[in-house]
Chains A and B, each alone.
Chain A
Amino acid sequence: MTTTTKPATPVATTRGRRPGAAALALRQGRLETTQFLRSRESVVFTMGFPIIMILIFASIFHGTIGGGVKFTQYFITGMIATGLMTVSFQNLGIWIPVERDRGVLKRYWGTPMPKWVWFAGKVIMVVVIGIAETALLLAAAVALFDLDLPSTAEKWFTFGWVAVLGVTACTLCGIAISSLARSARSGSAVVTPIALVLQFISGVFFVFTDLPTWMQQVAALFPLKWMCQGLRAVFLPESFGAQEPGGSFELGRVALVLALWCVISLVVCLTTFRWTTKRDG
């Protein structure tokens, strides 16, 4: 038997060469973003989808909907909301099961990395990609379809908080739903139908008030409808609010519902998140 003993190693944490908490989170965010951008399917699917949809829809429909609002203007608000949902909910709901299945999460778990850093990395990635994707979408819409950008600081502020709350809710939902997938492949089977149905019933592809009432009521239970509505308050004239189901853009209710989704999905995340697959015991 070997009798070599290591000279008493000082407790590692006292050396303190490790980056601080904020730096760790930023490093993690950079790594996640790099991985995302280098994965061609992710970039095409997440960033490309909303832009392709805008090109198709805006080329097909030229008319106006009530109050002199161009359909393009209406549709783009829906696509911005969809884009934000894709980058957060679908992106995480599809990729986290893959990473869990491949043992990426297990490997992180085995390091001294504080667990919140991993979540922070995902959030940073979602925010970076979300901003880039929204900017791209706005630029394309302005250049090709004469989209009118928000005219007041107040509207930009509304844009900001609706986007932040919406992305937060969708990010947390994406993390929460990732635990439902049993294997790497089933992530997209779980998430894609949900996202697609929500897009149809939340007024992304159609004017929301043209949908059957029961469908509107179902949609009102989920975040996407409220994100679309909040963004309409930003991109459509004040007068259009009268045509909303509630008789106004109901920004207070938008905030309330999205915040509620944040809280619910956070609780689900905290209680059900798994770092390993079921077969790992």
Chain B
Amino acid sequence: MHDELAISVRGLRKAYGDNVAVAGVDLDVHRGEVFALLGPNGAGKTTTVEILEGYRRRDSGEVTVLGTDPAQADPGWRSRVGIVLQGTGEFDELTVAEVVRHFSGFYADADDPDKVIERVGLADKAKARTHTLSGGQKRRLDVALGIVGRPELLFLDEPTTGFDPEARREFWELIRDLAAAGTTILLTTHYLDEAEALADRVGVIAGGRLVEVAAPNLLGNRQEALATVSWRTPEGTVESAQSATPTAFVADLAVRYGGEVPGLTVTRPTLEDVYLTMIGHAR
């Protein structure tokens, strides 16, 4: 019946003229999973996602989303998929409540519009014309329209671009709520902290290829990478050393300094370090 994969992609390719946007992507997203596609602008994120959403045709490869080829999307399939596109600000003359209510009418199994508005945090803006909303509020409206049909699978294309830090935190909570309720989520982002905060697994995409897929804390073998230990010498200079066994190294230092080591830090490559290495900006 329900296979365990929400999304299965094999050998996906797409070119616009001479420009190859997606050059052979393989990807599996499991049901109930939050998967982040991470990559710089122009890496092929949006093209990939829009093929999965049924918006674009692929040149070659096999794509199955919720058991169907999205190129053959029908209303039945569309009612199980929620889409939050990059653009916003489309229904200037209507109120939040009017827009959400209208879109709920397209789904057989729609959620209560008022509840959805409440859930995305727009309850006190329900009667406001959408052109009066702030950027973050408009994005919430986009999400409301994406989830009002109670999708099994939700696509979020760069959902928090332009948010202030607080709005992003709130938005993340909303996404975690949806994930906790069992919604499969595929999000694209170029924010590392967002991928780290939300995703069960991260796929790094660069130059149209999926460079690596892993849990955020395992990306680029971060766990096994050499740790950098640094400390301050009595002369006041900062010294540092690479170590595969930082615990033992620090224990030695502690003995040498007879207790507290001044200015001690132990770091491993940050997600940003491994990410930048992966997409070819090695430092």
Residues of B near A70 (CB, < 8 A) are none
Our count of residue pairs bridging A and B at CB distance below 8 angstroms stands at 120
Residues of A near B47 (CB, < 8 A) are 281
Query: A241 contacts the other chain (Cβ, under 8 Å)?
Result: no
Contact A17 B34 (CB under 8 A): no
Q: How far is the CA of A68 from the CA of B35 in the complex (A)?
A: 78
Query: A4 contacts the other chain (Cβ, under 8 Å)?
Result: yes
Give the residue of B33, B54, B79 whose beta carbon is less than 8 angstroms from that of A13: B79
Contact B93 A113 (CB under 8 A): no
Contact A281 B107 (CB under 8 A): no
Give the residue of B32, B50, B93 whose beta carbon is less than 8 angstroms from that of A38: B93
Query: B193 contacts the other chain (Cβ, under 8 Å)?
Result: no
Query: B160 contacts the other chain (Cβ, under 8 Å)?
Result: no
Closest to B78 in A: A112
Query: B159 contacts the other chain (Cβ, under 8 Å)?
Result: no
Residues of A near B53 (CB, < 8 A) are 110
Looking at A2, A102, A113, the one whose CB has the most chain B CB atoms below 10 A away is A2
Query: B94 contacts the other chain (Cβ, under 8 Å)?
Result: yes
Contact indicator per residue, chain B 29-44, by CB within 8 Å of chain A (1) or not (0)? 0111110000000000
Of B177-185, B220-228, B250-258, B265-273, the one with at least 4 CB within 8 A of chain A? B177-185
**9 A-B interface contacts by CB (under 8 A):** A6-B152, A12-B150, A39-B92, A110-B55, A111-B78, A111-B107, A112-B149, A281-B47, A281-B50
Query: A197 contacts the other chain (Cβ, under 8 Å)?
Result: no
| Shortest beta-carbon contacts, A-B, top 6 | A6-B182, A112-B75, A103-B87, A38-B93, A112-B79, A112-B78
CB within 8 Å for A111 and B94 given contacts A1-B215, A18-B106, A24-B105: no
Contact A35 B85 (CB under 8 A): no
Give the residue of B75, B92, B184, B200 whose beta carbon is less than 8 angstroms from that of A1: B200
Q: How far is the CA of A8 from the CA of B142 in the complex (A)?
A: 26
Give the residue of B76, B83, B94, B201 whose beta carbon is less than 8 angstroms from that of A110: B83
Q: What does DSSP make chain B's interface, helix, strand, loop or mixed?
A: loop
Contact A6 B106 (CB under 8 A): no
Closest to A102 in B: B90
Contact B32 A2 (CB under 8 A): yes
Closest to A17 in B: B108
| Min C-beta distance of A86 to chain B, whole Å | 19
Give the residue of B80, B107, B181 whose beta carbon is less than 8 angstroms from that of A18: B107
Query: A11 contacts the other chain (Cβ, under 8 Å)?
Result: yes
What 13 new A-B contacts, CB under 8 Å, besides A107-B85, A110-B81?
A1-B201, A2-B200, A4-B180, A9-B152, A12-B76, A12-B79, A13-B108, A14-B108, A38-B94, A104-B91, A110-B78, A113-B106, A281-B47
Contact B105 A276 (CB under 8 A): no
Contact A12 B85 (CB under 8 A): no
Query: A182 contacts the other chain (Cβ, under 8 Å)?
Result: no
Residues of A near B98 (CB, < 8 A) are 31, 34
Closest to B21 in A: A281
Give the residue of B32, B92, B145 whose beta carbon is less than 8 angstroms from that of A5: B32
| Min C-beta distance of A25 to chain B, whole Å | 11
Query: A16 contacts the other chain (Cβ, under 8 Å)?
Result: yes
Give the residue of B145, B180, B200 whose beta carbon is less than 8 angstroms from that of A107: B145
| Min C-beta distance of A77 to chain B, whole Å | 33
Contact B93 A35 (CB under 8 A): yes
Q: How far is the CA of A280 from the CA of B57 in the complex (A)?
A: 11
Residues of A near B109 (CB, < 8 A) are 12, 15, 17
Give the residue of A8, A17, A113 whose beta carbon is less than 8 angstroms from that of B75: A113
